[in-house]
């Protein structure tokens, strides 16, 4: 088998790869931020002693975590237009789906994080006159987030890899860029090799970067 | 200033507080002692409503805790509390620990809060540590910061829940010294402790508890002085802990 990478020029990167890379990054960033915010609320609901808050949250989290992402992507893509009575396009659909899907996973991490902070910290905050909400915002959640940062980033790396699943609804992501370029130049093997290498570099750097940040902000006990 | 009237508390069917009554007057230093599991910590925590109770009433500075809809954060902000395990916020440095509640609860300006915080830090002799994190300090230092943090809120009373129990022996003194100096300034205090030497030195009154009930509520001199005045149970307790 002869591998030939000579066709892989900056022009190819510009016209095929770049667009997909940007979309994959955007999708990761939006789903990460949106998912963490939504996930934090889900975690707080689930830890509440009011059943009308905890039950819906655990139903939501358990349901989404039991369904393969590809199916959720497809469902949202087919269902949202039915609800909104107009098509919303593959990309917007992907943003919404990934945010809601990731929220379920982030919420479980956040829940573990909140439980990792001693209850006595909450009591100490309340003894100073802070309200429940203030204790959560300034005392418990910041510690929960720091404790769980490695898990959050692992989940985000998985999220980045999962963005390739938007092929199911035909959105143009990083992998799709490689696939189309490979077909155009009739060099799919080379293209998939480069794609794998690029995914590796990105994910590996992210994980090294996480370690660095974690060292910086981790709590000294 | 604080009235505890016939307070009882149950965890399910297990009674942890049994009809406790006492009054803490302004400027009084009251030490609460007793064997473990006797309800000392629970009693002191009911005073700032960290623990609830099912019967009786507690009146703090004219406010009845059994009422519904009282402004608990406001009340708690005036009742300083120091915990056994310090409970500084480990993700914040010492200055941030000192100013957080001042800014969020008392709505002080940041500069004012910091000034007050550093004054209190200086008072407990740790002003050089203001930029460190709690984890970088020794247990004794952390507990002194915790006392400073409570003092920043201008409390009308200070509650100490076994403030030296989690400390290495050589650090007990530095924390007790701070508490003694507070007592000398006339701060009203309730202190759960096993340090009987300290109790003898600093307290005006001693409350002895067993099985959730207040067995003795005596002037310090009577509690420590004439053993005939106290019950056999308290005598036994005292002899056990003074032995070593």
**DSSP assignment of A118-157:** -HHHHHHHHHTT--HHHIIIIIIHHHHHHHHHHHHHHHHH
| Min distance B81 CA to chain A CA atoms (Å) | 6
Mean pLDDT, chain B, whole residue set: 90
SS3 B28: coil
Residue A188 CB partners (closer than 8 Å, separation 6+)? A179, A182
By Cβ distance, the residue of A121, A129, A143 closest to B74 is A129
Distances A83 to A28, A75, A166, B212 between C-alpha atoms, Å: 25, 12, 21, 61
pTM: 0.88
By Cβ distance, the residue of B50, B91, B106 closest to A126 is B50
Q: Domain A10-220 classified CATH 3.60.20.30?
A: no
Report CB contact under 8 Å: A131, B91.
no
| Min distance B243 CA to chain A CA atoms (Å) | 33
Report CB contact under 8 Å: A120, B135.
no
SS3 B210: strand
- A146: closest chain B residue by CA: B91
Report CB contact under 8 Å: A138, B85.
no
Q: A116 vs B169, which has greater pLDDT?
A: A116
- A139 — pLDDT class (breaks 50, 70, 90): very high
By Cβ distance, the residue of A120, A130, A142 closest to B104 is A130
Torsion of CA B218, B223, B225, B227, to 10 degrees: 120
pLDDT attached to residue B243: 56
Mean pLDDT, chain A, whole residue set: 92
SS3 B56: strand
pLDDT attached to residue B244: 52
Burial class (CB in 10 A: 0-12, 13-18, 19+), A14: exposed
Pairing of strands B55-60, B2-11: antiparallel
Integer Cα distance of A72 and B156 in angstroms: 58
- State the sign of the Cα–Cα–Cα–Cα dihedral A53, A54, A58, A59: negative
Which residues of B fall within a CB distance of 8 Å from A121? Answer: 87, 89
Which residues of B fall within a CB distance of 8 Å from A219? Answer: 90-91, 133, 135
| Min distance A143 CA to chain B CA atoms (Å) | 6
| Min distance B2 CA to chain A CA atoms (Å) | 17
Sheet holding B29-33: strands in order across?
Answer: B79-82, B157-161, B189-192, B29-33, B205-210, B213-219
Integer Cα distance of B142 and B148 in angstroms: 10
Mean pLDDT of A114-125: 95
pLDDT attached to residue A2: 78
The backbone region for A85, taken as left when phi is positive above 0, alpha when psi lies in -120 to 50, beta otherwise, is: left
| Min distance B192 CA to chain A CA atoms (Å) | 16
Q: Among A11-25, A57-71, A151-165, B137-151, which stretch is predicted with the lowest mean pLDDT?
A: A11-25
- B47: closest chain A residue by CA: A127
pLDDT attached to residue B242: 66
Report CB contact under 8 Å: A220, B79.
no
- State the sign of the Cα–Cα–Cα–Cα dihedral A171, A177, A180, A183: negative
pLDDT tens digits, residue range A9-64?
888 888 888 999 999 999 999 999 999 999 999 999 999 999 999 999 999 999 99
pLDDT attached to residue B175: 92
- A125: closest chain B residue by CA: B101
Report CB contact under 8 Å: B76, A128.
yes
Annotated domain spans of chain A: 10-220
| Share of residues in chain B with pLDDT > 70 (%) | 98
B219: β partners: B205
For the cut 60, the answer to whether the pLDDT of residue B202 exceeds it is yes
- Say what the ipTM of the complex is: 0.90
Q: Under a CB-based contact definition with an 8 Å cutoff, are residues A187 and B58 in contact? A: no
The backbone region for B87, taken as left when phi is positive above 0, alpha when psi lies in -120 to 50, beta otherwise, is: left
What number of other Cβ atoms are within 10 A of residue B226's Cβ?
Answer: 10
Mean pLDDT of B39-51: 92
Report CB contact under 8 Å: B73, A221.
no
Report CB contact under 8 Å: B150, A128.
yes
Distances A120 to A126, A135, A139, B83, B99 between C-alpha atoms, Å: 10, 11, 11, 9, 19
pLDDT tens digits, residue range B83-129?
999 999 999 999 999 999 999 999 999 999 999 999 999 999 999 99
Which residues of B fall within a CB distance of 8 Å from A148? Answer: none
pLDDT attached to residue A102: 96
SS3 A21: helix
- B89: closest chain A residue by CA: A139
pLDDT attached to residue B76: 92
By Cβ distance, the residue of B79, B87, B100 closest to A138 is B100
How many beta-carbon pairs under 8 angstroms link A with B? 73
Report CB contact under 8 Å: A128, B153.
yes
- A89 — pLDDT class (breaks 50, 70, 90): confident
Report CB contact under 8 Å: B89, A121.
yes
């Amino acid at each position: 088998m002869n591998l030939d990478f000579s066709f892989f020029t900056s022009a190819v990167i510009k016209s095929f790869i770049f667009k997909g890379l940007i979309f994959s990054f955007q999708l990761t960033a939006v789903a990460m931020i949106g998912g963490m915010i939504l996930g934090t609320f889900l975690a707080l609901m689930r830890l509440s002693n009011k059943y009308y808050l905890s039950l819906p949250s655990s139903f939501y989290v358990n349901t989404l975590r039991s369904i393969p992402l590809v199916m959720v992507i497809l469902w949202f893509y087919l269902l949202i237009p039915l609800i909104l009575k107009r098509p919303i396009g593959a990309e917007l659909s992907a943003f919404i789906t990934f945010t809601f899907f990731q929220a379920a996973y982030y919420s479980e991490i956040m829940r573990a994080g909140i439980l990792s902070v001693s209850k006595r910290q909450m009591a100490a905050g309340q003894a100073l006159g802070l309200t429940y909400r203030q204790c959560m915002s300034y005392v418990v959640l910041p510690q929960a987030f720091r404790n769980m940062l490695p898990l959050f980033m692992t989940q985000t790396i998985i999220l980045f890899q999962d963005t390739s699943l938007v092929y199911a609804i035909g959105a143009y992501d990083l992998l799709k860029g490689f696939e189309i370029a490979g077909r155009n130049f009739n060099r799919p093997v080379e293209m998939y090799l480069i794609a794998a290498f690029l995914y590796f570099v990105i994910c590996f750097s992210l994980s090294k970067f996480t370690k660095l940040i974690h060292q910086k902000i981790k709590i000294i006990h | 200033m604080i009235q505890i009237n016939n307070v009882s508390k149950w965890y399910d069917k297990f009674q942890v507080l049994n009809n406790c009554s006492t009054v803490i007057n302004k400027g009084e230093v009251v030490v609460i002692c007793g064997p473990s599991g006797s309800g000392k910590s629970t009693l002191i925590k009911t005073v700032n409503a960290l623990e609830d109770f099912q019967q009786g009433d507690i009146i703090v500075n004219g406010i009845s805790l059994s009422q519904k809809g009282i402004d608990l954060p406001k009340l708690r902000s005036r009742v300083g509390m120091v915990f056994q395990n310090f409970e500084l916020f480990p993700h914040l440095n010492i200055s941030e620990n000192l100013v957080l509640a001042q800014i969020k609860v008392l709505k002080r300006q940041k500069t004012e809060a910091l000034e007050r915080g550093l004054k209190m830090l200086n008072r407990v002799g740790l002003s050089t540590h203001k930029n460190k994190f709690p984890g970088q300090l020794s247990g004794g230092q952390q507990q002194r910061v915790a006392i400073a943090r409570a003092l920043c809120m201008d409390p009308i009373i200070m509650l100490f829940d076994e403030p030296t129990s989690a400390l290495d022996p050589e650090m007990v003194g530095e924390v007790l010294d701070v508490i003694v100096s507070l007592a000398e300034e006339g701060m009203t205090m309730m202190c759960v402790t096993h340090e009987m030497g300290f109790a003898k030195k600093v307290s005006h009154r001693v409350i002895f508890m067993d099985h959730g009930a207040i067995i003795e509520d005596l002037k310090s001199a009577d509690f420590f002085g004439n053993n005939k005045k106290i019950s056999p149970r308290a005598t036994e307790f005292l002899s056990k802990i003074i032995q070593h």
